[in-house]
Amino acid sequence: MRILLTGKNGQLGRCFQDTLLNCQHELFAFSSTELDITQRDKVFEITRRITPDIIVNAAAYTAVDKAESEPDKAFLVNCTGVKFLSEAASDLGVPLIHISTDYVFDGEAVEPYTLNNTTDPKSIYGKTKLSGEKVIRSMMTDHIILRTSWVFSEYGNNFVKSIVRLGTERNELSVVADQYGCPTYAGDLAEAILNLCEQYEKNGRLEWGTYHYSGDNPTSWHGFARAILVKANRFQLIVNFPKLNVIGSEQYKVAAERPRYSVMDLSAISRINLMPSNWCKALDKVLIKLNE
């Protein structure tokens, strides 16, 4: 099948390209310079030229703190750009697979967020991603929105790479222990998306709608950092194990408020034949790649 991918140089974009390496599908992958999703004419020109069977949107504005000082830019990519993609997909009559975030929730829950829970993002990034979800739902039926969380991979910038770098540079790290969520390997998310594309190719339809897709084992950022350091030490990426201090969110000064708890209920993904990401196993894989 013909798959059009936006945001090809991001974590998900790169993992998705890797996932398709040994497949028969035709992938048409675009970077932000080749296809800026905020340029409506370009979106229509390219989608009409490629005539894909399905569109996968891996493009997004993901700088959570920076978004607080440039909300218009974040909104333009995460909502207006998504609107243009929805319009173009509708124009061609093809489905759109889109990715959203756990940061659409307020973080006040004490048990996993279900699809019925109210959204109430605290950060500009979360607000713009929620607007993107809403615009898709208002414009087209044939879509899948996968809300994911704490994405890491061997590519780009992410928490795993930050902790490995800090672990090699410093004797001591301090990481927040009062924010809970589920790490997700971008490679597992990429496989899940390919699985959806192939189900669509086979059946001509999917159970359209919004789903939660993440790792299945909740932890705190501190717990995640500890797992990263232990494994990085085992794989000899870090020689001297740094001291890992527990801190509260108020001690880590950042522009954007993060949810205290953003664990998502994953039960609905079995309806679309997906399994959660095994982030512990994937972490080994990523650290081995970082060591090559």
Ligand X SMILES: NC(=O)C1=CN([C@@H]2O[C@H](COP(=O)(O)OP(=O)(O)OC[C@H]3O[C@@H](n4cnc5c(N)ncnc54)[C@H](OP(=O)(O)O)[C@@H]3O)[C@@H](O)[C@H]2O)C=CC1
Ligand Y SMILES: Cc1cn([C@H]2C[C@H](O)[C@@H](COP(=O)(O)OP(=O)(O)O[C@H]3O[C@@H](C)C(=O)[C@@H](O)[C@H]3O)O2)c(=O)[nH]c1=O
State the CB neighbour count (10 A cutoff) for residue 135. 21
For residue 219, give the nearest of 164, 256, 257, 175 by alpha carbon.
Answer: 175
Interstrand relation of 180-181 and 143-148 (parallel, antiparallel or unpaired): unpaired
Q: Which residues have C-beta within 8 Å of that of residue 246, sequence separation ≥ 6?
A: 174, 175, 177, 222
Give the largest Cα separation in the chain, rounded. 56
Find the shortest distance in angstroms from Cβ 230 to ligand Y: 16
Please identify which residue in the block is written with the tokens 């713009």: 128
Element (H, E) at 231: helix 221-234
176 touches, from ligand X, ligand Y, none (C-beta below 5 to 8 Å by class): ligand Y
Find the shortest distance in angstroms from Cβ 138 to ligand X: 18
Q: Do 262 and 129 contact (CB within 8 A), yes or no?
A: no
12 touches, from ligand X, ligand Y, none (C-beta below 5 to 8 Å by class): ligand X
Q: Which residues are catalytic?
A: 125
Q: Do 260 and 220 contact (CB within 8 A), yes or no?
A: no
Residues 145-164 that bind ligand Y (CB under 6 A): 149-151, 159, 162
Q: Based on the shown chain and the rule CB under 6 A, indicate whether residue 119 belongs to the binding site for ligand Y.
A: no
131 touches, from ligand X, ligand Y, none (C-beta below 5 to 8 Å by class): none
Residues 142, 137: Cα–Cα separation, whole Å: 9
128 touches, from ligand X, ligand Y, none (C-beta below 5 to 8 Å by class): none
> Which residues of the shown chain bind ligand X in the complex (CB under 6 A)?
6-7, 9-13, 31-32, 35-38, 58-62, 77, 81, 99, 101, 129, 148-151, 156
Find the shortest distance in angstroms from Cβ 203 to ligand X: 25
Query: Going residue by residue from 37 to 66, which x/- string records binding to ligand Y, judged by CB under 6 A?
Result: -------------------------x-x--
Is 223 exposed, middle or buried, given 0-12, 13-18 or 19+ CB atoms closer than 10 A? middle
Task: Please tell me the count of residues contacting ligand Y according to CB under 6 A.
Answer: 20
Q: Which residues bind ligand Y (CB under 6 A)?
A: 62, 64, 101-103, 149-151, 159, 162, 166, 173-176, 179, 221, 252, 254, 258
